[in-house]
């Protein structure tokens, strides 16, 4: 039988038997036979070509079987045994801060639930760049996570050129963990008991008041620049090398005000050294429910929150992403977890991957506008 005759004569049988897996294998073998003969440019009988082309046939059959298996198995089957070894959870700041506390709380709860250890790996330095790059370069197998922050995934890309990672290209979203409002406080000597009074005071004396931040481009800087822009006030920026030194001078009265995370401010508010005027979130925060939002206190539409989240390297299987997201969502609903997070000024807030992606896009647009309005340039 010639090659051309075999090619034209071969027909697929639609009977039930032919639709069986064995029938598909037989048809595949004969098709490989025809391809081999055609490539060799000669006629041959079936037994001869089986010997000559057996390796090619086996390889092609294996590829087809793999493809058939992948399409027929449910997606969750790939993640049923996950995790099978320890997971590394990269935190891009040093131990002891808010990011570290939240990450370790979630990691411990997941370790308890899975029986496989989730290890927090603190990789501080470079304003979060070092740890973020490390996560971006990790294998997309579900065993490396990134503790995502607005600083590392939004502010750094907007303010720094030639970053060794791209937040959109290199990462896949998993879930939000918390949102974290800042509180606007003034030294007790400032003659303003409300946001409206502070705005009036600043407008009456442009450039006379000043505010402290943890440094140029820091969240405490950007939130105040948003406040200045929305209230049309002129308040002088005094940058420090960290939140600690900035707080010392606000308490001492050398600088009149600051925006800062809530927990370290509350003792000074209770002692009367500082006066709380408002929080930066759209709704009142659970950490300080008696303090109004800045929006309700006189600046409609004002909102600025820091956020903590979980990302994994891009191309991590969706089935694994779903396993992580589902477990974290359940953990954030636990009363003891919520209470611990609220105690450090964080509002628990899980999300789907799609919701986190949309959230980050919105935050990027908002922060880009703030940065441009403040005249900050990329480094």
E strands, the chain, in order: 87-91, 118-122, 144-149, 171-187, 210-213, 236-239, 257-261, 274-279, 305-313, 347-348
**What is the per-residue pLDDT for 189?**
97
**What is the per-residue pLDDT for 306?**
93
**What is the per-residue pLDDT for 30?**
54
Question: Distances from the Cα of 88 to the Cαs of 10, 98, 138, 342, in angstroms?
Answer: 55, 18, 10, 25
**What is the per-residue pLDDT for 5?**
38
Q: Strands 305-313 and 144-149: what pairing? A: antiparallel
Q: Which two tokens stand for residue 34?
A: 């025809």
The Cα–Cα gap between 379 and 361 comes to: 22
Question: Distances from the Cα of 291 to the Cαs of 266, 284, 294, in angstroms?
Answer: 11, 7, 9
Cross-strand partners of 260: 183
SS3 (DSSP) at 92:
coil
**What is the per-residue pLDDT for 36?**
46
**What is the per-residue pLDDT for 25?**
44
Below-50 pLDDT ranges, the chain? 1-25, 28, 32-37, 39-40, 42-44, 46, 49-53, 55, 62-73, 75
**What is the per-residue pLDDT for 273?**
97
| Long-range pairs, 53-57, Cβ under 8 A, ≥24 | 56/32, 57/28, 57/29, 57/32, 57/33
């Amino acid at each position: 039988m010639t090659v051309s005759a075999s090619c034209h004569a071969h027909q697929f049988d639609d009977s039930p038997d032919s639709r069986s897996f064995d029938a598909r294998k037989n048809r595949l073998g004969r098709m490989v036979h025809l391809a081999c003969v055609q490539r060799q440019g000669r006629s041959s009988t079936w037994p001869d070509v089986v010997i000559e082309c057996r390796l090619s046939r086996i390889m092609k059959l294996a590829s087809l079987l793999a493809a058939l298996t992948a399409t027929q198995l449910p997606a969750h089957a790939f993640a049923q045994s996950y995790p099978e070894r320890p997971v590394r959870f990269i935190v891009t700041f040093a131990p002891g801060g808010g990011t570290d506390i939240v990450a370790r709380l979630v990691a411990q709860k997941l370790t308890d639930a899975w029986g496989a250890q989730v290890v927090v790996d603190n990789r501080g330095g470079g304003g979060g760049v070092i740890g973020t790059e490390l996560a971006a370069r990790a294998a997309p197998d579900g065993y490396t996570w990134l503790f995502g922050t607005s600083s590392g995934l939004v502010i750094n890309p907007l303010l720094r050129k030639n970053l060794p990672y791209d937040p959109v290209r290199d990462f896949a979203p998993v879930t939000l963990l918390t949102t974290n409002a800042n509180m606007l406080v003034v030294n007790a000597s400032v003659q303003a008991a409300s946001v409206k009074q502070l705005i009036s005071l600043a407008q009456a004396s442009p450039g006379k008041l000043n505010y402290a931040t943890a440094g140029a481009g820091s969240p405490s800087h950007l939130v105040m620049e948003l406040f200045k822009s929305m209230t049309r006030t002129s308040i002088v920026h005094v940058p420090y090398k960290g939140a600690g030194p900035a707080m010392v001078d606000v308490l001492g009265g050398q600088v009149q005000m600051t925006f800062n995370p809530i927990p370290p401010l509350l003792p000074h508010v209770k002692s009367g050294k500082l006066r709380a005027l408002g929080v930066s979130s759209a709704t009142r925060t659970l950490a300080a429910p008696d303090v109004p939002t800045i929006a309700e206190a006189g600046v409609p539409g004002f909102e600025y929150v820091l956020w903590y989240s979980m990302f994994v390297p891009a191309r991590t299987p969706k089935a694994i992403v779903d396993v992580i997201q589902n477990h974290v969502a359940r953990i954030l609903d636990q009363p003891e977890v919520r209470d611990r997070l609220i105690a450090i000024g964080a509002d628990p807030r899980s999300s789907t991957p799609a919701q986190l992606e949309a959230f980050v896009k919105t935050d990027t647009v908002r922060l880009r506008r703030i940065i441009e309005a403040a005249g900050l340039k990329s480094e």
